[in-house]
């Protein structure tokens, strides 16, 4: 069995989407974090408000990047924006659950806190990608095939 035989068209499309998702995530993080810092440090907004605005913009940018770059070969429905918000909420709930569990089972200390936050971030990223791939921007069959 060769690598080429394992890399079926659906698997190849999935891997390409995952790579694009990573690139989009890096770009989105830079945009969101820049907004947070500009509002917090530049305009001296309340840090929590700056953070919330940065994340709100980040969710919008993430949706657009997912639609036009990550899953660009897919057709979306009118319900995609609402589905995306639901997917973000589910991913965030999982993130919080993983963080809570990690804080309960891991020892205390800065390194373990980083590990807990990292685990939570990975769970969020993976969950949002999978929900986006299989539900929000899922391939829809057309009447032609």
Mean pLDDT calculated for residue range 84-112: 96
pLDDT confidence band for 73 (50 / 70 / 90): low
41 and 20 Cβ atoms separated by less than 8 Å: no
Tell me the C-alpha distance between 36 and 14, whole Å.
32
State how far the alpha carbon of 139 is from the alpha carbons of 3, 74, 83, 104, 105, in Å.
Answer: 25, 6, 14, 39, 39
pTM of this prediction?
0.84
80 and 132 Cβ atoms separated by less than 8 Å: no
Percentage of the chain beyond pLDDT 90 is 81
- The distance from CA 67 to its chain's CA centroid, rounded to whole angstroms, is 12
39 and 49 Cβ atoms separated by less than 8 Å: yes
Angle CA 17–29–97, to nearest 5: 80
pLDDT in tens, 118-141: 999 999 999 999 999 999 998 765
54 and 33 Cβ atoms separated by less than 8 Å: yes
The H or E element spanning position 48 is helix 47-65
What pLDDT is recorded for position 25? 95
What pLDDT is recorded for position 140? 65
């Amino acid at each position: 069995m060769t690598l080429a035989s394992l890399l079926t068209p659906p698997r190849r499309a999935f891997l390409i989407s995952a790579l694009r998702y990573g690139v989009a995530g890096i770009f989105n993080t830079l945009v969101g974090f820049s907004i947070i810092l500009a509002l917090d440090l530049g305009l001296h907004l309340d840090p929590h408000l700056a953070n919330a605005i940065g994340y709100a913009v980040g969710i919008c940018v993430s949706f657009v990047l997912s639609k036009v770059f990550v899953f660009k070969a897919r057709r979306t429905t009118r319900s995609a924006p609402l589905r995306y918000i639901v997917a973000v909420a589910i991913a965030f709930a999982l993130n919080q659950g993983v963080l809570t569990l990690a804080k309960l089972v891991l020892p205390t200390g800065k390194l373990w806190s980083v590990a807990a936050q990292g685990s939570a971030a990975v769970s969020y990223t993976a969950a949002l990608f999978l929900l986006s791939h299989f539900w929000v921007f899922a391939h829809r069959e057309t009447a032609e095939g």
